[in-house]
């Protein structure tokens, strides 16, 4: 995939380019994405993807440039097993990874499916261990035996996923990571399970973990409980993480996960860090996941929101022909359409742009009357005036 970053259609602040801001990023390293929409994303309350929907989403993710797709947790249900098998056998460009607890039965399910690579998890914080009745020694034993079992039974790569890593005792966390690597783990993940770590703390922790594990590839998995998942993912990259785990639309437990499209957009166009996502396909993937999940994202959501490039305000509409005056990046970067809509906040410039868009000629002396009627109708219906309604208003004046 082409990871060259062009800023011809990006109109952000030049302050971003100051050396003291960019110097800590490795601009030669390509950041890749491990998508967990089909597992962690489906943990959003009330969401239940069918096997067909999971397969469709996996194909779209692969086409968008996601490097790894977590196909799910086969032991949850027969349907999850069917979906995982179909995705594994599809021959997608993305690597397919399975999810497993440090439990032999979970690993066996993937061995039976033919999953080549798996992520194995266990809790490492005192709070989580207490909730499960684990001791530190039991956790380390589960980690070692599970990874050794997976590797000795044909699993190609194992990623060790330390649940609640950000609230773990650091000395113990280092022990667990060392245990995992000694047992054969190929990669590790630093996990902010309940979104409890500030971006500054994330960067510090990633640097600390890298000093423990040397050249072992490092993933970051963060949640959005304080609205900082994207910022924390950027901080993790600044600290040295090579992989970002996240979901489409940021869906997931509680406040959700990092949104992979938001992270890619920020990395590319604010920090000039190459990332392997084709953002022109993000809105297509987003809509498919929304449809399958039975929900709708906010119209103002970054990257995929319906109204990102839609203008109602008359003051903004007056600048519409100069996108760089009212937008930080071109709609082309995310394959969105720019448009004018009419409502209570519209102005004469809005009337002019909409009439031009619809191929309608409006005499100058009736523009104000038409605008007044547009505003009146918008207030009455508490919403936007449709193109057909606008045409009807115009017909009464022209």
pLDDT digits 0-9 by tens, 30-57: 999 999 999 999 999 999 999 999 999 9
At 322, list the tokens. Answer: 């100069």
Closest by CA position to 90, among listed 65, 47, 54 = 54
Residues carrying CATH 3.20.20.70, the chain: 28-293
Integer angstrom CA distances of residue 129 from 108, 165, 174, 302, 321: 24, 12, 16, 37, 58
With both helix axes pointing from N to C terminus, report the angle between 229-239 and 199-213 in degrees, rounded to the nearest 10.
30
Q: What is the CA radius of gyration of the chain?
A: 25
For residue 342, what is the DSSP state? Answer: B
Query: Count of CB atoms within 10 A of residue 164's CB?
Result: 21
CA neighbor of 38 nearest in space, from 233, 197, 241, 257? 257
CB 354 within 8 A of CB 389: no
| pLDDT of the residue at 1 | 53
218-222 and 157-163: which strand pairing? unpaired
Q: What is the pLDDT along the chain (398 residues), one digit of tens a residue?
A: 556 677 789 999 999 999 999 999 999 999 999 999 999 999 999 999 999 999 999 999 999 999 999 998 888 788 899 999 999 999 999 999 999 999 999 999 999 999 999 999 999 999 999 999 999 999 999 999 999 999 999 999 999 999 999 999 999 999 999 999 999 999 999 999 999 999 999 999 999 999 999 999 999 999 999 999 999 999 999 999 999 999 999 999 999 999 999 999 999 999 999 999 999 999 999 999 999 999 999 999 999 999 999 999 999 999 999 999 999 999 999 999 999 999 999 999 999 999 999 999 999 999 999 999 999 999 999 999 999 999 999 999 98
How would you class 307 by CB atoms within 10 Å of its CB: exposed for 0-12, middle for 13-18, buried for 19 or more? middle
Give φ, ψ of 134 to 5 degrees. Answer: -90, 150
Provide the whole-model pTM. Answer: 0.94
What gap in Å lies between CA 170 and CA 134, rounded to an integer? 17
Residue with tokens 């998890």: 121
- Fold adopted by 28-293: TIM Barrel (3.20.20)
């Amino acid at each position: 995939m082409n990871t060259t970053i062009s800023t011809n259609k990006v109109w952000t602040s030049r302050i971003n380019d100051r050396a003291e801001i960019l110097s800590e990023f490795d601009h030669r390293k390509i950041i890749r994405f491990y998508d967990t929409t089909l597992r962690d994303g489906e943990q959003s309350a009330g969401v239940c993807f069918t096997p067909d929907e999971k397969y469709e989403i996996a194909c779209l993710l692969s086409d968008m440039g996601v490097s790894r797709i977590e196909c799910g947790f086969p032991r949850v249900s027969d349907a999850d097993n069917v979906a995982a098998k179909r995705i594994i056998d599809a021959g997608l460009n993305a690597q397919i990874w399975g999810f497993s607890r440090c439990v032999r039965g979970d690993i066996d399910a993937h061995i039976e499916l033919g999953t080549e690579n798996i992520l194995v998890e266990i809790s490492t914080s005192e709070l989580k261990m207490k909730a499960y009745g684990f001791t530190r020694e039991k956790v380390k034993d589960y980690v070692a035996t599970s990874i050794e079992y997976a590797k000795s039974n044909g699993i190609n790569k194992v990623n060790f996923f330390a649940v609640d890593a950000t609230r773990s005792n650091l000395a113990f966390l280092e022990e667990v990571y060392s245990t995992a690597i000694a047992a054969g783990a190929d990669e590790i993940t630093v996990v902010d399970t309940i979104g409890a770590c500030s971006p500054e703390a994330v960067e510090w922790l990633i640097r600390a973990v890298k000093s423990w594990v040397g050249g072992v590839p490092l993933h970051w998995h963060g949640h959005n409980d304080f609205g900082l998942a994207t910022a924390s993912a950027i901080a993790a990259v600044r600290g040295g993480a090579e992989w970002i785990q996240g979901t489409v639309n940021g869906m997931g437990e509680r406040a959700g996960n990092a949104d992979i499209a938001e992270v890619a957009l920020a990395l590319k166009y604010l920090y000039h860090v190459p990332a392997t996502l084709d953002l022109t396909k993000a809105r297509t993937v987003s809509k498919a996941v929304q449809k399958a999940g039975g929900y709708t994202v906010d119209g103002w959501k970054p990257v995929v929101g319906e109204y990102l490039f839609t203008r109602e305000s008359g003051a903004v509409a007056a600048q519409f022909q100069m996108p760089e005056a009212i937008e930080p990046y071109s709609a082309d970067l995310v394959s969105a359409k720019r448009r004018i809509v009419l409502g209570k906040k519209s102005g004469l410039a809005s009337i002019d742009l909409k009439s031009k868009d619809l191929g309608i000629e409006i005499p100058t002396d009736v523009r104000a009357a038409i605008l007044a009627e547009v505003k009146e109708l918008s207030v009455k219906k508490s919403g936007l005036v449709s193109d057909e309604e606008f045409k009807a208003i115009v017909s009464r004046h022209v």
